[in-house]
Amino acid sequence: MFDVTDGREVHTFAGPAGSFYGDGVSLFASNEEGLSRWDPVDGCRTGHIGGFRPTHLHRGAGELVQLAKNTLLRWATT
C-alpha cells in the first residue's frame, strides 16, 4: 500500500491479487476466483464471493459492479 500524497510504500502484506478497489475501510481484490475482501491493517482476508468478478467501483453508491452477459450485477461494499 502506498501513501497517496507522496507515493511512498507504507504497508505490505501477501495475499490479494488481481484488480484492486478500496472503500476507505477494506481492500477488495477481483480476479479469476471471484471477489475477496481484505483488512488492510492486519492483512487478513475477511470475505470471499466466488464467481463475482467486478470491474468497477461506484464510489457514490458504494457498490462494486460486474457486467455479465446483458446483466449488471451489483454488490454493496458496506
* Amino acid identity, position 58: H
- Confirm if 57 and 63 have CB atoms less than 8 A apart: yes
Q: In the structure grid, which three cell numbers stand for residue 51, read together? A: 464467481
pTM comes to: 0.81
Give, rounded to a whole angstrom, the gap between the first and last alpha carbons of the chain.
Answer: 21
For the stretch 16-55, pLDDT in tens is: 889 999 998 999 999 999 999 999 888 899 999 999 999 9
What's the pLDDT band for 72 if we cut at 50, 70, 90? Answer: very high
